[in-house]
Structure 1
């Protein structure tokens, strides 16, 4: 598994987190397409922000094999990024609609 595949897997997990949040909490749903877009950007942003602590895809593959602990942390952060993005975007939408 290369660093590129780990990055793609992280994005897919972020999409799953965003869509699962939309399914469970209907008030945070933007539909499948909106949740998917939020999941992509949320997972990428959080992985880039927190991944500097040592669980970015390059560090996971640095020894030539997959570091499972770092991969699990990466996937959990990515899943959380999808959830956080959907919630924050819904809050932003409510704030912007309130001003009009």
Structure 2
């Protein structure tokens, strides 16, 4: 696996997290496209923010082999990034609509 492939898998994990959150909680749904975009940006934001702790794609592949533990942590953080990104965007949209 390469660093780029790990990054792409992480982004898909964020997309999955946002869409599953919208599926389970209908009130937080922004439509498929909105959920997907939110999952992408939430995943990227969380990995860039927390990946410095040692589970970014480059660190996962530093030995030439995939470190399974770091890869699993990376996927979980990406998934949570998508979920929390959707929650934050939905909260922001509701706040902006209530100020009218």
Report TM bin, short chain.
over 0.9
Corresponding residue number in structure 2 for 1:45:
45
Residue matched to 1:7 = 7
Q: Could you list the runs of 5+ residues in structure 2 that have no partner in the other structure?
A: none
TM-score, scaled relative to structure 1 = 0.99
Equivalent residue of 1:12, what SS? helix
Number of the residue aligned with 1:82: 82
Deviations 1:39-77 (A, max 9, x none): 000000000000000000000000010000000000000
TM-score of the superposed pair, with normalisation by structure 2: 0.99
Count of residue pairs brought into register by the alignment: 100
Alignment RMSD (CA, Å):
0.3
Provide the secondary structure at the position in 2 that maps to 1:55: coil
**In the alignment, does 2:69 pair up with 1:69?**
yes
